[in-house]
């Protein structure tokens, strides 16, 4: 998996968690509470931001990442904030090999799902998320709004700003199979990331195809510099069975 650790270090160094919390607000916490979730599996822990926010809010959290380096970093960050992370190193594509418990919610946040470049991997990962959920559990997965970029409503030169002026991201190259972004940081450093340009309707369809019954998609959770199109989408996929007659499992 392509993930530059130096990039993440830089991100964490320049965008501190307090600033991030300001822009994201309590969006995910409110969503989880509204669905009655208590036990959460953070499958894209990264440096630990969401895991720590949720622990602080009183949720029971298990933190997964495919990268041992990331988990070590997350553990250290959480420790600094006064929390002990329960970590599991696991790949999404065979998550059930290492995660044997069941959860009220799986969260895959920070535009992480975009790192899977192969459709079979995307389907398998979603099926594994589905499998670790309780019968009425939910998956919360966010993604950048690639439709806006692919459909040219956004010029390739468009700059996305994160937390003010600290990082700007520009889609340098985009087609239906690759979105290459250039990230420039306020200290002058520059990184590139290759991502898969997930279309909103495509992700919703895959979620339904692996068995999720209902998918609700929200626009931005954060302030952006655009008035109309959101920069991010947040999908909430529900496992709870809904029959065609509207009957639900209890």
Ligand X SMILES: C[S@@+](CC[C@H](N)C(=O)[O-])C[C@H]1O[C@@H](n2cnc3c(N)ncnc32)[C@H](O)[C@@H]1O
Give contact residues for ligand X (rule: CB under 6 A): 1, 3, 44, 46-47, 49-50, 65-67, 70, 91-93, 109-112, 115
- Going 110 to 92 to 133 to 199, the CA torsion angle's sign is positive
Task: Return the number of the residue (79 or 135) whose C-beta is nearest ligand X.
Answer: 79
CB of 150 to ligand X, least distance (A): 20
In angstroms, the CA 10 to CA 6 distance is: 6
The 3 state secondary structure assigned to 55-78 is HHCCCEEEEEECCHHHHHHHHHHH
- 232 contacts: CB under 8 Å, gap ≥ 6: 111, 142, 143, 144, 145, 219, 220, 221, 222
Task: Return the number of the residue (83 or 241) whose C-beta is nearest ligand X.
Answer: 83
CB of 152 to ligand X, least distance (A): 26
CB of 93 to ligand X, least distance (A): 6
CB of 49 to ligand X, least distance (A): 4
Q: At what angle do helices 49-56 and 17-24 cross, to 10 degrees?
A: 70
Task: Return the number of the residue (68 or 242) whose C-beta is nearest ligand X.
Answer: 68
Task: Return the number of the residue (91 or 220) whose C-beta is nearest ligand X.
Answer: 91
Question: Encoding tokens for residue 128?
Answer: 């594994």
Task: Return the number of the residue (7 or 241) whose C-beta is nearest ligand X.
Answer: 7
Residue nearest to ligand X (CB): 110
CB of 246 to ligand X, least distance (A): 35
Task: Return the number of the residue (143 or 217) whose C-beta is nearest ligand X.
Answer: 143
Cα–Cα distances (Å) from 124 to 46, 114, 142, 149, 202, in that order, read 20, 14, 17, 26, 15
CB of 109 to ligand X, least distance (A): 5
């Amino acid at each position: 998996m392509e993930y530059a650790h130096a990039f993440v270090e830089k991100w964490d160094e320049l965008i501190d968690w307090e600033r991030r919390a300001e822009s994201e607000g309590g969006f995910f916490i409110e969503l989880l509470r509204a669905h009655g979730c208590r036990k959460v599996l953070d499958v894209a822990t990264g440096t630990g931001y969401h895991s720590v926010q949720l622990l602080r809010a009183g949720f029971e959290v298990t933190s997964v990442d495919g990268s041992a380096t990331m988990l070590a970093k997350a553990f250290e960050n959480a420790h600094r904030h006064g929390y002990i992370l329960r970590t599991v190193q696991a790949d999404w594509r065979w998550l059930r090999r290492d995660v044997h418990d069941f959860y009220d919610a799986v969260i895959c946040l920070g535009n992480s799902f975009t790192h899977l470049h192969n459709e079979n991997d995307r389907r398998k990962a979603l099926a594994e998320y589905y499998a670790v959920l309780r019968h009425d559990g939910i998956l919360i997965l966010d993604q950048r709004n690639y439709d806006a970029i692919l459909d040219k409503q956004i010029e390739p030169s468009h700059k996305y700003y994160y937390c003010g002026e600290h990082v700007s991201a520009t889609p340098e190259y985009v087609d239906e199979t690759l979105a290459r972004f250039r990230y420039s940081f306020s200290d002058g450093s520059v990184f590139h990331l290759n991502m898969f340009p997930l279309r909103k309707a495509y992700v919703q369809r895959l979620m339904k195809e692996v068995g999720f019954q209902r998918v609700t998609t929200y626009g931005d959770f954060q302030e952006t510099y655009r008035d109309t199109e959101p920069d991010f989408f947040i999908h909430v996929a529900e496992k709870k069975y809904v029959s065609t007659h509207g009957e639900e499992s209890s």
